[in-house]
């Protein structure tokens, strides 16, 4: 009944506005006292030092990924690094979205006449204004506020799940020289089914068994402790993120990633799945033209402000609404689809835009905080929620 009531309020409060293509979201509706109690974080600190180039119409530069360093640095490779990503920032508040992401289309959409690589499918809509230095992040500016009206606890739920080791995005780095710059490292990405605490003296994962997606001692009775996120935890990854369930054959891999100024830059394969999971709902994101950029700490214990930036196809986005209980044919679905026709600001495939070409994707930027972890193995993963008949 609670979910149904939220949907009815959602329909009554914003439906008529969305259907005519207006911007319904009032950022002031999100209260933030700076403590993070609303599920957001303080965005007052300076953003990561991304690269800059000259984008079309940009008066203050264009935010892009930092360039690859020119030469191999001397020194042997260090041991592999694994980071579990948590504390996802979905609710980006009034100004946070403007600092999260990249200039994906090489335009700076600024007043008085916004410009970009395409036009919104809704003829009554105008192209979104970009964030700082042309940042494209329609997800943070337009889409997530709409989702939050129906599921206000989605970010908090996703964070609680990852804190317990469930649905943690795992980044694995190998072939890294451990210095500020390395023109080539091997980076892979997966997601955890569960995780458990370990100790500093463990060099191999302890024996364990998985019961109903939770970790136990081999007896299947004693539950292992939840992760402590102090560098000694073990993550058990989804077997379907590897070919043949082989930990050495990841499906999401960039063996030509690099580190520059201690910033990791990784290119993601098109339409890789990133799940923001909760117990009863979640979002599965499939991106194109995507990058992951984050900063390695001096002692390699953290991968901070890891930003995923890319393009989210409208069709892929509509498919994930089932996980939120918004089903094809429902009134909520029609409102959601109409909102996408207004908020779409980029093309799913770079280079396919042009004069009067309609946008078919939303830009997205989200951040995580990464903490040193270790890999215990793989197991069957939870199925994404599907609340529709």
Buried b (16+ CB within 10 A) or exposed e, 25-40: beeeebebeeeeebbb
Strand extents, DSSP E, 175-281: 182-196, 209-211, 214-216, 234-238, 253-260, 263-268, 272-277
Q: What is the pLDDT of residue 280?
A: 53
Q: What is the pLDDT of residue 150?
A: 73
Q: What is the pLDDT of residue 110?
A: 83
Select from 252, 221, 202 the least CA-distant residue to 374: 202
Residues of the chain with pLDDT under 70: 1-54, 73-74, 94-95, 275-283
Residues making up the chain, counted from first to last: 389
CA distance 70 to 184: 10
- 309 - beta bridge partners? 291, 365
The string of DSSP codes covering 148-168 is: HHH-TTHHHHHHHHHHTTTT-
Tokens for 320? Answer: 């994930």
The string of DSSP codes covering 317-365 is: HHHGGGGGT--TTSHHHHHHHHHHHHH--B-SSTT---TTPBP-EEEEE
From the number of C-beta atoms within 10 Å of its C-beta (0-12, 13-18, 19+), residue 299 rates as exposed
Q: Is the pTM of this model over 0.85?
A: no
CA distance 187 to 54: 29
Q: What is the pLDDT of residue 36?
A: 35
Q: What is the pLDDT of residue 49?
A: 58
């Amino acid at each position: 009944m609670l979910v149904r009531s939220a949907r009815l309020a959602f329909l009554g409060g914003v439906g008529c506005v969305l259907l005519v293509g207006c911007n319904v979201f009032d950022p002031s509706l999100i209260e933030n006292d700076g403590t993070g109690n609303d599920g957001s974080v303080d965005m007052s600190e300076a953003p990561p030092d991304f690269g800059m180039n000259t984008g079309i119409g940009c008066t203050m530069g264009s935010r892009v990924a930092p360039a690859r360093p020119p030469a191999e640095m001397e020194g042997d490779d260090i041991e592999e690094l694994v980071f579990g990503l948590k504390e996802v920032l979905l609710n980006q508040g009034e100004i946070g979205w403007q600092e999260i992401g990249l200039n994906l289309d090489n335009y700076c959409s600024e007043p008085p006449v916004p410009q970009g690589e395409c036009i919104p499918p809704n003829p009554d809509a105008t192209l979104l204004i970009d964030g700082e230095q042309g940042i494209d992040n329609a997800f943070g500016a337009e889409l997530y506020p709409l989702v939050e009206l129906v599921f206000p606890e989605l970010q908090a739920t996703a964070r609680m799940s990852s804190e317990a080791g469930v649905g943690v995005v795992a980044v694995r780095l190998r072939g890294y020289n451990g210095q500020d710059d390395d023109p080539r490292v091997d980076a892979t990405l997966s997601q955890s089914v569960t995780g458990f605490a370990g100790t500093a003296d463990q060099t191999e994962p302890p024996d364990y068994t998985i019961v109903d997606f939770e970790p136990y001692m081999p007896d299947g009775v004693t539950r292992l402790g939840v992760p402590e996120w102090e560098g000694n935890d073990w993550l058990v990854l989804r077997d379907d993120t590897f070919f043949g369930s082989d930990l050495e054959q990841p499906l999401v891999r960039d063996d030509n990633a690099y580190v520059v100024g201690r910033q990791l830059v990784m290119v993601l394969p098109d339409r890789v799945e990133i799940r923001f999971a909760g117990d009863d709902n979640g979002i599965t994101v499939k991106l194109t033209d995507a990058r992951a950029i984050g900063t390695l700490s001096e002692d390699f214990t953290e991968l901070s402000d890891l930003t995923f930036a890319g393009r989210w196809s409208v069709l892929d986005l509509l498919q994930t609404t089932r996980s939120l209980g918004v089903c094809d044919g429902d009134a909520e679905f029609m409102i959601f689809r109409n909102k996408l026709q207004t908020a779409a600001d980029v093309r799913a495939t770079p280079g396919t835009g042009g004069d009067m070409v309609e946008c078919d994707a939303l830009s997205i930027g989200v951040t995580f905080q990464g903490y040193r972890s270790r890999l215990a193995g793989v197991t069957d993963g939870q199925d994404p929620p599907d609340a529709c008949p």
